[in-house]
Structure formats: C-alpha cells, structure tokens
Amino acid sequence: MEFVIATHNADKIQEFRRILEPLSIEAVSADLPEVEETGTTFAENAYLKAVSAFHATGKPAVADDSGLEVDALGGAPGIYSARYAGEDATNEQRIAKLLDALREVPEEKRTARFVCAICCVLPNGDLLTARGECPGKIAFAPRGTDGFGYDPVFLTGKKTFAELSAEEKDNISHRGKALRLFAEKLREYKEKSHAEQ
C-alpha cells in the first residue's frame, strides 16, 4: 500500500520509511504545495499538511508535525521549532538560539520533550491520528553527527539523539512512538474495514 508522506524534509521521509516499510506500507514523497501551518497545536498542523497532500495527490497521505518543548522556556519553541531562529535559519542557528536562551539554566532544570503528532487522511475521508513523546534534557553543547534538527542537543540518558544509531533513535523517539501507534491503528482500521465488507 502506497502512502504519500507530506513533508519536504528528506530526513523525515527516511525515518518514515524505516518504520513503515516493515508493515507493508510504501512511504513515497511527492512534489507537494507548501502548507501554511496556521494550527495552534502539533495535531492541527499535521492535519493541515495531510489534507493538503491528499488533495494534491488523491492518495492516502500521512503528515507529522513535531517539535521540541523546553520546560524552562514555557514549552517553547513548541510548534515554532522549525522557525525558532527565523524562516530560513539553519539547524546550527536554531540550536545556537536555544542554547543562548538556556545559558543561565542549570542542568536539573533543562528538562524537555520531543513531541510528534501524526495525521493520516484516507481516500474515503477517514482520519487516523497518533501522538508520541520522548522526554529528555537539553545538553550544554551539541554532540554527535547523526540525526537532524535539535538532535545534537537533546539528551536521553547519557547520549544525545545525534549520538544514537538510526535504529536506537527509532526505538525511543517521539516519531518512532507515534508511527508505531499509527501503524497499530492502521492495522486495526484495515481489519475492521475487511470485516465489514
């Protein structure tokens, strides 16, 4: 079964593929229009992106909206994670801004979580949604060379996300959790639809 992944982020597409392909779901990318993320929650933005991708392709579409919530910053950058340092900022610039904002914050108060909301729009108009969270802390400096976004400063245990292998990250990450929950819901949905035919 082919699902369009509503993102222009190549790293995210790879992550979706790794987690969905074992479930016989082919995650494909498409040339999709940009979507204005006007939602006030991760779930609302995921819905906007999934609906747009479905209308553009006519295929089942899956979108995620995800970001970093830092307790000492009142949950910021939150839904603005990708735009935290400006529209065209690099990952390095976003990380620099975050570390600067946390300059005076001691280790025990640097708690944070990655959040991922997933929305799938099916051709009959049905929606499937899932959410995953991964708690952690913000490191004092970037470490590691893998991953993307805020991964080099997001600590789970003694390692940052950027120091984990793709498999280790998928096992504990917010997106990994959300995608596994989504896959479970999709399986149940397919079984129910099959039973009703």
Active site residues: 65
Residue 102 burial (CB count, 10 A): 19
Short-list 66, 96, 86, CA closest to 78: 66
Short-list 162, 168, 173, CA closest to 139: 162
Do 113 and 134 touch, CB atoms closer than 8 A?
A: yes
Give the tokens for residue 113: 């979580």
Give the tokens for residue 98: 């975050």
